[in-house]
Structure 1
């Protein structure tokens, strides 16, 4: 369900966008994004998947709509993965003990689309599994900033999610672009990302993955308009940083060190 897309000038008929050829985003170097988390979500007998990212050995951030399901929801977090169809020695599979959805999350317009997952046990931090720093309350991305999004998503509209981790570069856009296209867009808590000229976008299943700018997670893949690849809306992490800090203290009163990601 995760997907990173790149459109070129070649053409093929698409059911919703007229002409355009879709090819997958680039595959990342094995284990070069050690903060990435693959979420296996099960509601009853219905499986789904999303992205997420490790911010502390016991905590993963993702999108609330990934786990906003009817009935009991069980989430298993896989860390240290590159190919999620293989049992790589680097992988750590840890159940989520608790899901903390933002209290003001709304399905209507995906407002406050953020969830903290408390892991049942702490992840083992090593070369394959590391945390990523999140944007602080006073840190904001600027229009024109080039960021990256990673995920295990579809590589075309008809194919299933990618087995290997993919990545795409996306540019931060003016809030006005998303305000014109999304009735519930809120610039203080959301980021407008991607543009038609670059022909790049996230797509179905990329939800929950991080928008990484200058080695920090600034956004969370949230939503787009049906039938449109761009622009897309990301949850703005800096706006929620005080809430995240408060909830992490509830997970553990003691500060838990974690080796941060760095290239």
Structure 2
């Protein structure tokens, strides 16, 4: 059974629906995933949550649909929480950062979740560009997806970070099953033998990273290497936004 694909964030899947629930996973060791980010997204009285991950100390990568699918438009109040394990606890390790600058891929489309990627600025530029993954044939590789989303199809939720192992499938399978699948920019992930997976759209998991061979290769199934030129260009622009009077995305 193919669990799904993601189009712009490291580790989501969607067989027509978006991935966001960690099904069949287990709680991770506390604070063992320091790159993980939790996005609290608000528009007026409405609120939703997503995952994300640091690609360098001042930049978080996530899925564009987190910002645009539920709340179309850009007048959003976004807080990125770093250093969290139990998102409902006031852990001393947590850092809460109000995000004023972000950029969504200009060709993002919720139709098939194409180019589903967003980059958020969470601080001043204090480091060189992150080490983005090189294009690899990942078919058959065992990867991991982590998040704070629902843990079952019945809606059970978790406040602590959980993680599940999934295998990268041959892209031919997804091309046959999903008309909007784009092998150059998406990663097909699933589990043939059990009900494990990052399943449907649920707060907390969308936008999180797909970790393969110790590197983030997907944003809930968006193939990061395909977007490397765009990511590096946005990081360069983020550096310029450190100057007084720079524009913001909200």
Which band: TM-score by shorter chain? Answer: 0.7 to 0.9
Is residue 172 of structure 2 the alignment partner of residue 176 of structure 1?
yes
Counterpart Cα distance in 2 of 1:158 and 1:64: 26
Counterpart for residue 183 of structure 2? 187
Residue 99 (structure 1) shift: 1.9
Is residue 222 of structure 2 the alignment partner of residue 235 of structure 1?
yes
SS of the counterpart of 1:109? coil
Is residue 24 of structure 2 the alignment partner of residue 3 of structure 1?
no
Q: Describe the superposition over 1:150-170 as per-residue Cα deviations: whole angstroms up to 9, x where unpaired.
A: 000112233353100000001
- TM-score normalized by structure 2? 0.81
- The structure, 1 or 2, with the larger RCO (C-alpha pairs under 8 Å, 6+ apart) is 2
Alignment of 1:1-263 (within 5 A): 2-6=20-24, 25-68=25-68, 69-71=71-73, 72-119=75-122, 121-122=123-124, 133-136=131-134, 139-159=135-155, 161-203=157-199, 204-205=201-202, 206-221=205-220, 234-252=221-239
- Tell me the matched-pair count: 216
SS of the counterpart of 1:252? helix
Q: Is the 8 A contact 1:50 1:207 kept in 2?
A: yes
Q: Describe the superposition over 1:37-91 as per-residue Cα deviations: whole angstroms up to 9, x where unpaired.
A: 0000112211100000011111100000000122422211000000000010000
* Aligned Cα root-mean-square deviation (Å): 2.2
Q: Mind listing any 5+ residue stretches in structure 1 that lack a counterpart?
A: 7-24, 126-130, 222-233, 255-263
Q: Describe the superposition over 1:70-128 as per-residue Cα deviations: whole angstroms up to 9, x where unpaired.
A: 24222110000000000100000001111200011111110000000112x34999xxx
